[in-house]
Each structure stands twice: as structure tokens, then as C-alpha cells.
Amino acid sequence: MEKGERLAKRIARAGLCSRRDAELWIAAGRVAVNGKAVTTPAFNVTANDKVVVDGRPLAENAPTRLWLYHKPWGLVTTHKDPEDRPTVFAALPKDLPRVISVGRLDLNSEGLLLLTNDGALARRLELPATGWIRRYRVRVYGDITPAMLAEMKQGVTTGGIHYGSAEVRLDSTKGDNSWLTVALTEGKNREIRNIFEHFGCKVSRLLRLSYGPFQLGGLKRGEVKEVPSKVISALCLVPCI
């Protein structure tokens, strides 16, 4: 008998949302399989099962696609913002299919953001276990000391949250402002800002330069560039999901 795959994974692979969000949709009663409502994520489906989400049949899994996007400052990385602020997804070209982001960049951050039509892939690439380094160019107001940088490399606990090792290089200083390059693998919410605030410093600009093997390079603000399918295959992103 065919074992199939988890229902939440099927929904995520169809590009509707992340696997985590799909589990919440299922628990909320928004999903039916073969005409019957399913409310537990611990449910497997096969290729022959008919899945319906919010009354609409789930589309066949599209080939996994991945894009690089240069997120401008002032956009929220969400599909719908309760404060009605401009969002990344409303700013994307209209010819893009529905996509979700791999992680987020906050309102005041800019730079490289990965987008995909495959929720399961997004979830996998967000996990620290992937080991991909996120590299940032950061402008900081405050006194930067060697002891501070050494402590960041060991990991910092602040506000009840532990942040793992961050490799920080001081590039230049002019007055009270410094430019630094920061490399980390976790990418927790506001991680870099919170770490520097712990030392009494304030981040005034944050630009993501790279995410794993993908580079911002010469991508202009607001520009989107698709990653060739052969690159996705070479990195084993599809078979390993």
C-alpha cells in the first residue's frame, strides 16, 4: 500500500504556504480530503487523493522554482500586513506565480531575499541545520571594541534569547559610525539589531549580501532574478526536500 506524504507537506509543495502554516490551516478545518474534513496534521495522502483547501481543489505540484530578490527598505515581508504597510509581495512583478519567502527581512532591512513557490523548500532552507551562512553589511552607531566582537563570536544571550556565534569584521570607522560585515547561520528575528543593542550600539542600516551560495551581487533594488533549474538540481534542493 502506498504510504504517501503528510497532508501539510502536500499543501506546502503546491506553493500555498509554508508547511507550518499548512498545519495550522488543517487544524482550523480549512482542508478536506476526498470530501471529508481533516483536522489533524498527522494525516497522509497519496497522489490519488483529492485535496481541497478553502473549497478550492489543490493544484498539481508545480516544478520547484527559486528567485533572488533585492528587497528595498520600507517593505514588510508578509502577504498581508495588519497595519496596512507596503509589502514585499505586493511590490513583486505581476507575472510571478504565488511565492513565499525563505525567512524574512524586517521593515528597515534590505538586500537579498530568497523567494520560492515551494513551501517545503522554504522551510528547509530556513533551518539553521542547513548550515547556510547569511552575510550582511551593517552600519552601526556606537563604540565597537575587539572585546565586543570576541563575545559575539562566542554567542550572546539577551532579552532571554540566546543568539549563536556571529562572525563580525570591522571594515571602517568614521566618528561614531562603523561599517561591519556580519556572518551568521541562525537568522532569528531582529538578531543582528538585538545583538548590537545588547552592547549599547544601534544599527542604522542593514543590507543582506548573501544567503548560502546565493549572492546579491549587482541585483538592483526591487529586481527579481530566477535561479536556473540546473542550479537547484546541482545543490540537491529538490530531491532532498
pLDDT, one tens digit for every residue, the chain (241 residues) = 457 788 988 888 777 777 888 999 999 999 999 999 999 988 999 888 999 999 999 877 678 899 999 999 999 998 888 899 999 999 999 989 889 899 999 999 999 999 998 877 888 888 888 889 999 999 999 999 999 999 999 999 999 999 999 999 999 999 999 999 999 998 888 999 999 999 999 999 999 999 999 999 999 999 999 999 899 888 766 544 3
Strand partners, 137: 181, 207
Q: Which residues are catalytic?
A: 106
| Rounded Cα gap, residues 208 and 230, in angstroms | 25
**Whether this model's pTM surpasses 0.95:** no
Residue 222 has φ and ψ, to the nearest 5°, of: 85, -5
